[in-house]
């Protein structure tokens, strides 16, 4: 998780493709550490925000 957070930038932000996806902040980037295109999605919830990790995996997107 820490390695992924060090690699992503604002330019890697991706709007959700599907309406059934839970709302959150998604990022798609080419990871030097993992050697592939990666997807990370998290969401902040609550009055005192808590960060929930929804996805961190090899991306299903085409480069």
One-character DSSP codes across 5-59: HHH--GGGEE--S-TTSPP-EEEEEEETTTTEEEEEEEEEETTTTEEEEEEEEE-
Does residue 29 contact residue 14 with C-beta atoms inside 8 Å? no
Answer whether 17's CB lies under 8 Å from 9's CB: no
Q: How far apart are CA 30 and CA 38, in angstroms?
A: 6
Domain ranges of the chain: 2-58
Q: pLDDT by residue (tens digit) across 4-54?
A: 999 999 999 988 777 667 788 999 999 999 999 999 999 999 999 999 999
**In the predicted structure, residue 1 carries a pLDDT above the cut 80:** yes
């Amino acid at each position: 998780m820490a390695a992924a957070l060090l690699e992503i930038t604002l330019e890697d932000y991706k709007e959700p493709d599907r309406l059934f996806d839970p709302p959150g902040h998604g990022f798609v980037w080419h990871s030097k550490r993992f050697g592939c295109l990666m997807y990370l999605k998290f969401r902040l919830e609550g009055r005192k925000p808590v960060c929930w990790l929804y996805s961190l995996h090899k991306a299903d997107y085409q480069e």
